[in-house]
Structure 1
Amino acid sequence: MKKKIIAITGSQSGMGLAFRTLLEQSGNEIIGIDLPGKGAEVEGDLTRQDERIRVVTEVKELSRGRLDGFIANAGIDNPNVRLVFQLNYFGVVVLLEGLRDVLAANERASVLITASNSVVITPGIPEAPVADLLEDNFEAAVASLGETNPMAYQVSKLAILRWMRSQAHTSNWAGRGITMNAISPGPVLTPLLEKDLADPQKGPIIRKLPQPLGSFAKPSDIAGLVKFMISEEARFIVGQNIIIDGGMEAAWREKDYPTVWDIGSEAFMALMSS
């Protein structure tokens, strides 16, 4: 079996490290991308445009022009709106667009984006900054939400999911042999979550979240899905967001999905003939 070359952002800790470990154990070559000093093959601060461009260049060099997979895992949950938008949205889009040619060189590459189940269990996520991000209007998105807002994370993850949905099926991605999808984990027992659980304000709220399986996930519980999603077995999954949260979303929203497609017959026939 041919060894795959897979790049992973946020590769040196938490879920990213679990993904890396499992994929390396399966015989793949990993190009890790993380902050300076963490030991990744490529170091860079993905909140900065100049650093994103440099990271793209270095990944292209290390992959020798052939990249089989890319896992956009790096992200942050912080009320600093600028920081969150730069990393969680532009830190994904800029890298993926910059690496599209080396992914397309294989004709059967896979992209996976780590989103969040908070997108589907948080009520009232503002739509305006999501639309601004999708139009590449960073300053308008920040102005719409404000410099500090606890919804920054959810807005960024909703925007990247909608970007993925709008792009995955197109000639730029699926048309060039690149499958692109997302996963949305619930709370995962990383050091960050353990810190939040110990917080006297955050801890009780997190513990009140539904846990149908009786516990939160460990990073290794998510890694198996990641391994599958970038494999040949997942070849015909395109443009999907797969929730992996132990049943949390289903417990709260069991009757919301699937919903009937609200489209008139004329509009549907126009799609059929387009």
Structure 2
Amino acid sequence: MTRTIVVTGAASGMGRATVEELTAAGHRVIGVDLRDVEVIADLSTPAGRSAMADSVARLAPDGIDGVVAAAGVTVPLPPSKIIAVNYFGAVATFELLRPLLLRSATPCAVAVISTAALMDYDDALVEACLSGDEAAAQAMADTHGATEATGYASSKQALARWLRRAAVSKEWGGSGLLLNGVGPGSVLTPMTEDFLSTPEGRAMLAKATPIALPGRAYGEASELAEIIAFLATLRGRYLLGQIIFVDGGTELFFRPDLI
């Protein structure tokens, strides 16, 4: 069955790989990004998010079957910008497109988290994001002593917590909308290629994201796309609120006893 699926961050990296995976399977994809896609929108701003939702509604007036929030940014952007895109942009994508998802018989939404969510995040900044006050959260991100890396980790930790809480809410699981996520480890994308292009960068990522598999320094975007596409096209209706870590074992090194 052909599905209509919106993918943010669709111009490159895991988003682009997901578009390719879904298209190859015969699905219709509406890409959202800053360039080279069906919907050009800046998800770092409320106006850009609203424009995205309006454009998607025009392209899919009968509704959509899936949403993948893969858009994300990291250093060298300031923490406030990282928070704006990675947390508030992702949450707004889900919330603004939820009415279109409700028109599907088998709606699925997928958030791209990160193993960085397990690392050096700022709990106060995470709570500021979850409070929904974007201006306050951005101000805190730039003044609370958060580094760019901590801003990224905090944005992903906040998104993971939002997902787990929202998944079982009346608006999502209670309305038949499946909300799940993936947690990539170190993956070769335009966002990480600078780190992975030098021995120092590779050593830093190897320490931050240990991999148990032999001969692997990082994952490929296509390996994440396979799981994202699976979650975005679920026929069964019983998988809810889960974050599947696709990381070569990184999450297990951090939390070996978590069940």
Q: Same fold (TM over 0.5)?
A: yes
Compared with structure 1, are the counterparts of its residues 15 and 50 closer, same or farther at alpha carbon in structure 2 (3 Å cutoff)?
same
- Aligned in 2, Cα 1:232/1:204: closer, same or farther, shift over 3 Å? closer
- Which residue is 2:6 aligned to? 7
| Letter paired with 1:140 | A
Confirm or deny: 8 A CA contact 1:129 1:140 kept in the other structure.
Answer: no
Contact 1:116–1:157 under 8 Å retained in 2: yes
2: CA distance, partners of 1:146 / 1:33: 27
Cα displacement (A) at 1:144: 3.3
- TM-score (structure 2 length as normaliser): 0.91
Q: What residue identity is the alignment partner of 1:103?
A: L
Task: Report which of the two structures shows the higher radius of gyration computed on alpha carbons.
Answer: 1
Partner of 1:261: none
Deviation at 1:234, TM superposition (A): 4.9
The answer to whether the aligner puts 1:129 opposite 2:125 as a matched pair is yes
Residue of structure 2 in register with 1:93 after alignment? 91
Asked if the contact 2:74–2:191 (Cα under 8 Å) also holds between the matched residues in 1, the reply is no
- Conserved 8 A contact 1:129-1:144: yes
CA–CA distance in structure 2, aligned partners of residues 66 and 143 of structure 1: 36
Residue 56 (structure 1) shift? 0.3
TM-superposed CA distance for 1:228, in Å, is 1.4
Letter in 2 for 1:73: A
Deviations 1:158-183 (A, max 9, x none): 11111111111111111222100111
Shift >4 Å, 4+ stretches? none
Please name the residue that 1:56 is paired with: 53
SS at match of 2:188: coil
Helix, strand or coil for the counterpart of 1:71?
Answer: strand
Q: Distance in 2 between matches of 1:12 and 1:157?
A: 21
Task: Indicate the residue corresponding to 2:136 in structure 1.
Answer: 140
Aligned length: 252
The whole-number CA distance in structure 1 between the counterparts of 2:242 and 2:66 is 16
- Do 2:106 and 2:235's aligned partners in 1 also have CA atoms closer than 8 Å? no
Which AA in structure 2 matches 1:97?
E
Summarize deviations over 1:20-58 as a string: whole Å, max 9, x none: 0010010100000010xx310000111111111011000
Which runs of no fewer than 5 residues in structure 2 stay unpaired? Answer: none
* Length-normalised TM-score, structure 1: 0.86
Specify the alignment match of 2:226 in structure 1: 224
C-alpha contact 1:107 1:178 (8 A) present in aligned 2: no
